[in-house]
Amino acid sequence: MTVQWLGHACFRITHKDYSIVIDPYNSDYINGYPKLCVMADQLLVSHEHFGHNYREGVILSGKPESESPFEIETLKVPHDFKMGNWRGFCLIHILRADGLKIVHMGDLGTQLSGGEISRIFGADVMMVCAGSCTALPAQEAKRVTDECMPTVIIPMHYRDVNRGGHRLETVKDFAGYFESPELVHHYDSDTIEITPGMEPQIAVLSFRGVNEAVIDRSEGAEKPVRGLFSLLRRKL
């Protein structure tokens, strides 16, 4: 199984030739990220905010969900410390396949209850907001990881040089709350392979940018089409 960071809170998880994209961002509202155009077999959205629901940026293969190797469940949690009265709610997605458990925390804005922790506890991978001013701050996000004890923690939704909102904390801020610096692994790649029995770590993936053009051959020429709606317009 592979987990690829596509920027901000967006990931592509692939297993047995089936891919799921979670939380595609709209670059018009997220500083520093290029326009998103990626392919997948399935799309998941944690909540309807512009940094997480850019469906136009994901081109679906049409492969039926019955072919998916993943079992998916969700937890509805508040997006803010006012128990959803300010920013509403979002979904935590829990994906299971062949004994592996992958958790995307969405924009969690409060600490978890005991029952919620029990459903997430011991995940092989947790993708968690590492610097959000709109969700848990870095120190509180670290507390969530302490309670849930995932093997691999992948930070997301943080400020990185010129990417991400200026109010967001950096991944260095998040990593600084962990007492063992050797846990932090910086990857020169946007993708990590997940296997049973991995070394516990904070996996900081590198943003590489993805724009997977669709080639429209219907008019006898290869022309890149930058999104599903563009493709539909060309066929009308």
pLDDT at 138: 86
In contact, 2 and 19? CB cutoff 8 Å: no
Paired tokens of 177: 């709350």
CB 85 within 8 A of CB 79: no
Report the C-alpha gap between 233 and 208 in whole angstroms. 29
Q: What pLDDT, on the 0 to 100 scale, is given for residue 133?
A: 64
Domain coverage including residue 182: 2-235
pLDDT of residue 216: 41
State the total domains in the chain. 1
Residue segments in the chain with a per-residue pLDDT below the cut of 50: 84, 215-236
CA–CA gap between residue 15 and residue 193 (Å, rounded): 10
Q: What is the pTM of this model?
A: 0.85
Closest CA to 24 of 59, 51, 49: 51
The per-residue pLDDT for 81 is 61
What pLDDT does residue 221 have?
37
Question: What pLDDT score does 219 carry?
Answer: 41
Specify the pLDDT at position 217. 34
Residues 108 and 132: their CA atoms lie apart, in Å, by 10
Specify the CATH number for the domain of residue 130: 3.60.15.10
Tokens of 232: 């539909």
